[in-house]
Amino acid sequence: MPANPVVAVAGATGVVGMEMLAILAERAFPASRVKALASKRSAGRRLPFGNGELVVEAMTTDSFTDVDIAFFAIGSATTQTIAHEVVGAGTVIIDNSSAFRMEKTVPLVVPEVNPQAVRQHSGIIANPNCSTIQMVVALAALSRKAAIKRVVVSTYQAASGAGAAAMAELYEQTREFLADEPLTIEHFAHRIAFNAIPQIDVFMEDGSTKEEWKMVVETKKILGDEDIEVFANCVRIPVLRSHSEMVNVEFSEPMDTEIALTAFHEAPGIVVMDDPAEKLYPMPGLVIGSDEVYVGRIRRDPTVKWGLNFWCVADQLRKGAALNAVQIAELLL
């Protein structure tokens, strides 16, 4: 990998793609050139980048012939169609879709948790699911103090996890609801305004949704432990940005709140916000635009021998997607 690689962002006009461009500029990623790629209908559009701007190019497989690192913020179907041809041309793909996450030969990487996995790539590195990323950052910190036996997580996921159009629908439905007008429902299974939807992605044979399945299998792969039991409940709520999670962990050796606080304070990428007397705890509205995973409401679970419960919040467009991808690219360098 050259010290100053040519970088492309595929899907640059989407909400995650634009966040990737912003973070590349913020972190002064040492690219010799950055290309913004999108569909033909977006070609010619100008996007802000640092102190300047980039002109969007129509994406084809030829767009990657001179590219060293390509961030893919496009759908799984398109990714699967072009990925191997792009890799064959010598480009390393950091893929934000679910297309290759569970392939044995594709590393699934969260830099604070398993940075060594980057070395195992064969041209494709997968960015995990947004809700998985923030949880495993916290779980990995705890696992350094005591072995984890079981995890039960309930998520409260923002509309932005479904894209810019979904965010716009939340805005519009809120206006329609307050004006007592018929609601426009297109991107969610039900209305999202003033509601909570216990379904993210499609249902599977066992009654779980695909989002819940992702959290189970991805957590095991990232932590490198197939014996950890994981159960997930994923809910979409009418918040624009940043995911929240209530995480219950059972350990196979001693764990208490003091050990957990030490683990969280020592871990990279985690901020402890936990002062019940002052009503201080993380909330999605407070962490927008931040890079860290915030934890609070840390308390013992007395229903099991060594149990702990905590609340976890992060900006899923940054740490849950774009930032994590850029951090992976920094590891490559």
Tell me the catalytic residues.
Answer: 130, 243
| Residue 246 burial (10 A CB sphere; 0-12, 13-18, 19+) | middle
Element containing residue 77 per DSSP (H, E): helix 76-88
Q: Where are the beta strands (DSSP E) in 158-269?
A: 229-236, 243-251
Phi-psi region of 232 (alpha: psi -120 to 50; beta: other; left: phi over 0): beta
Phi-psi region of 308 (alpha: psi -120 to 50; beta: other; left: phi over 0): beta
Geometric angle at alpha carbon 154, from 193 and 210, rounded to 5°: 80
Residue appearing with tokens 């912003």: 22
Structure tokens at 151: 């995890």
Would you tell me how many other CB atoms lie within 10 Å of the CB of residue 254?
Answer: 10
Closest CA to 172 of 148, 156, 188: 188
Contact by Cβ (8 Å): 238, 159: yes
How many Å apart are CA 30 and CA 7, to the nearest integer? 10
Element containing residue 55 per DSSP (H, E): strand 52-55
How many Å apart are CA 187 and CA 193, to the nearest integer? 12
End-to-end CA distance of the chain: 7
Residue type, 63: S
How many Å apart are CA 211 and CA 168, to the nearest integer? 22
- DSSP-assigned letters across all residues of 157-184: E-GGGG-HHHHHHHHHHHHHHHTT----
How many Å apart are CA 133 and CA 222, to the nearest integer? 9
